Amino acid sequence: MRNEEMLLIPGPTPVVDSIYDALAQETRGHTDPRFVKIFKSAIEKTREMFKTDGEVFVVSGSGTLAMEMAIVNTVAGGEKLLVISQGYFGDRFIHLGKAFGIEVDVIQSEWGSQVQTKDVEEKLTAGNYKAVTITHADTSTGVAANLDALVPVIKKHGGLVILDGVCATAAMEEDMSKTYGHPDYKIDVVLTGSQKAIGVPPGLAVVAFNQSALAAREKIGRVPAYYCDIHNWIPIMNDPGKYFATPPVNLIYAYDEGMKLVLAEGMENRYKRHKAYGRAVRTALVEYGMKAIANEDVAAATLSCILYPEGLNDAAFRAALAEKGVIVAGALAHLAGKAFRIGHMGNTTNEMLEKAVVLIGETMKEMGFSVNPEKAAVIFQQCLSPLKM
Ligand SMILES: *Cc1c(COP(=O)(O)O)cnc(C)c1O
């Protein structure tokens, strides 16, 4: 890989050479048939990944724009939105809803744990919610949402399920054709960004709407958006040679290549690989006296938020680790200084993560901690042995 550093923050994630090569192809006009063909294929691959019977949207923007697109097109001002929040990015839907005059209710978990399904059921019974947001993997805490428990409860009460997959799509199951205990109980909207588990540079917002979500858009009539209004994008997504707003041509080349890698590996393999990586990283770091704030049964496959052992200085540790070429992120809010966040998603590899585990230990040793990086590496590989069978 051309990268000089290992970018193990919760996105952007390491970019592989074939994606850089795609990105560096000649910029062509957005209506040039050679580009249109690639755009079409990228949209097709996105459909295939989500297995949706509806529409997908691939537009310039970050994950936050994808969140906005999901909300603005499904919930009108004055209607009610229930936010299930397991951290910082869950909370973002509160601010987003309020910005559009939506009535927002929220259920928040303590950081590191999941929201209780019975609390969700209670709220849903009392309120009349148009939609409910779930953050699949909250990037602030490394907690995954329990879709098997939440989706049926929400659908039973008639709300649309909006899933934030920015830190999960292509690594954790988000199959829009999957039924959750009843033929009609499905995920209605999934939104994501290009730069996390898909492994493409930042800059693309990706959203999928099923038929129920599209019907909700129709019912609203006029939405308080122009660029974000899916009405303006449906004709483009069905015929990418048409113009609404200039697509990011080179990024679409890169995204098409990224999606090619995703589908070639296979969704099931990717779910398994990410699950194993997450567990292996967390288990190996225990050897250093570190601990994920999420228990293993609720931990996300894509990233972990790891508490430092007593006496390890956050800024000094991350700076020294960066000197060795491994970039991890600080923790947010009340965990700042007490924990760090490490991504293990997208096109990261076994070798990369083992090296990172060893270098984390080496850094701690230099800072005066008595730890055993060789042993942590062995533990890391042992955890991955199911993958190698
Ligand atoms: C990163 C992230 C976002 C925000 O995405 P941007 O691309 O930074 O706008 C939203 N939700 C989750 C779960 C994320 O991890």
pTM: 0.98
Query: Could you identify the atom of ligand 1 that is nearest to the CA of residue 135?
Result: 13
For residues 282 and 305, give the distance between their C-alpha atoms in angstroms, rounded to a whole number: 9
Residue 310 lies in a domain: yes
pLDDT digits (tens, 9 = 90+) for 173-197: 999 999 999 999 999 999 999 999 9
28 and 54 part of one domain: yes
Question: Which tokens belong to 292?
Answer: 């994920």
Residue 245: pLDDT over 70: yes
Mutate to test the pocket of ligand 1, among 7, 9, 59, 64 (most ligand atoms within 8 A of CB): 64
Main-chain phi, psi angles of 222, to 5 degrees: -95, 130
User: What is the 196 CA–ligand 1 centroid distance (Å)?
Assistant: 9
Q: Which residues contact 354 (CB under 8 A, 6 or more apart)?
A: 377, 380, 381
Residue 216 lies in a domain: yes
272 and 241 part of one domain: no
Would you tell me how many other CB atoms lie within 10 Å of the CB of residue 212?
17
User: What is the 92 CA–ligand 1 centroid distance (Å)?
Assistant: 9
For residues 321 and 175, give the distance between their C-alpha atoms in angstroms, rounded to a whole number: 37
Considering the chain, what is the average pLDDT of its residues?
Answer: 97
Residue owning the nearest CA to atom 6 of ligand 1: 63
Residue 3 lies in a domain: no
Query: Could you identify the atom of ligand 1 that is nearest to the CA of residue 67?
Result: 10
Residue 7 lies in a domain: no
CA 159 and chain centroid, separation: 22
314 and 167 part of one domain: no
Strands (E), 168-258: 189-193, 204-209
Residue 8 lies in a domain: no
166 and 197 part of one domain: yes
198 and 69 part of one domain: yes
Give the β-pairing of 131-135 and 103-108: unpaired
Q: C-alpha angle with apex 71: 300 to 190, nearest 5 degrees?
A: 40
Q: Which residues contact 257 (CB under 8 A, 6 or more apart)?
A: 18, 19, 21, 22, 200
pLDDT digits (tens, 9 = 90+) for 4-27: 999 999 999 999 999 999 999 999
Q: What percent of the chain has pLDDT over 70?
A: 100
- Which of the listed residues 219, 247, 264 is the one where a domain comes to its end? 264
CB 325 within 8 A of CB 363: no
User: What is the 287 CA–ligand 1 centroid distance (Å)?
Assistant: 30
Question: Which tokens belong to 130?
Answer: 């148009």
Residue 248 lies in a domain: yes
pLDDT digits (tens, 9 = 90+) for 143-166: 999 999 999 999 999 999 999 999
277 and 178 part of one domain: no
Give the β-pairing of 80-85 and 131-135: parallel
For residues 368 and 354, give the distance between their C-alpha atoms in angstroms, rounded to a whole number: 22
CATH code at 333?
Answer: 3.90.1150.10
Residue 386: pLDDT over 70: yes
235 and 254 part of one domain: yes
CB 280 within 8 A of CB 353: yes
pLDDT digits (tens, 9 = 90+) for 97-140: 999 999 999 999 999 999 999 999 999 999 999 999 999 999 99
- Which of the listed residues 210, 236, 264 is the one where a domain comes to its end? 264
CATH code at 219?
Answer: 3.40.640.10
186 and 56 part of one domain: yes
The whole-number pLDDT of residue 141 equals 96
The whole-number pLDDT of residue 388 equals 77
User: In terms of C-beta distances under 8 Å and separation of at least 24 residues, what long-range contacts does 374-379 make, across chains too?
Assistant: 375/287, 376/284, 376/285, 376/287, 376/288, 377/284, 379/280, 379/283, 379/284, 379/286, 379/287
341 assigned ligand-binding residue = yes
pLDDT digits (tens, 9 = 90+) for 284-316: 999 999 999 999 999 999 999 999 999 999 999
Mutate to test the pocket of ligand 1, among 65, 71, 89 (most ligand atoms within 8 A of CB): 89
pLDDT digits (tens, 9 = 90+) for 21-57: 999 999 999 999 999 999 999 999 999 999 999 999 9
User: What is the 31 CA–ligand 1 centroid distance (Å)?
Assistant: 30
Quick one: 221 exposed, middle or buried, by C-beta within 10 A (0-12, 13-18, 19+)? Answer: exposed
114 and 51 part of one domain: yes
**Residue type at position 375:** K
Residue 23 lies in a domain: yes
Name the 3-class secondary structure at 108.
strand
Quick one: 234 exposed, middle or buried, by C-beta within 10 A (0-12, 13-18, 19+)? Answer: middle
The whole-number pLDDT of residue 281 equals 98
Give the side-chain half-sphere CA count within 13 A for 209. Answer: 25
pLDDT category of residue 389 using cuts at 50, 70 and 90: low
User: What is the 33 CA–ligand 1 centroid distance (Å)?
Assistant: 32
317 and 258 part of one domain: no
Residue 383: pLDDT over 70: yes
Lining ligand 1 with CB less than 6 A are 10-11, 62-64, 89, 135, 138-139, 164, 166-167, 193
Q: Residue 73: which domain range? A: 17-264
Query: Could you identify the atom of ligand 1 that is nearest to the CA of residue 65?
Result: 9
182 and 210 part of one domain: yes
Residue 225 lies in a domain: yes
User: What is the 190 CA–ligand 1 centroid distance (Å)?
Assistant: 13
257 and 270 part of one domain: no
The whole-number pLDDT of residue 387 equals 83
Please compute the mean of the pLDDT values over residues 70-83 and round it to a whole number. 98
The whole-number pLDDT of residue 124 equals 97
- Which of the listed residues 238, 264, 290 is the one where a domain comes to its end? 264
* Structural domain count, the chain: 2
pLDDT digits (tens, 9 = 90+) for 266-288: 999 999 999 999 999 999 999 99
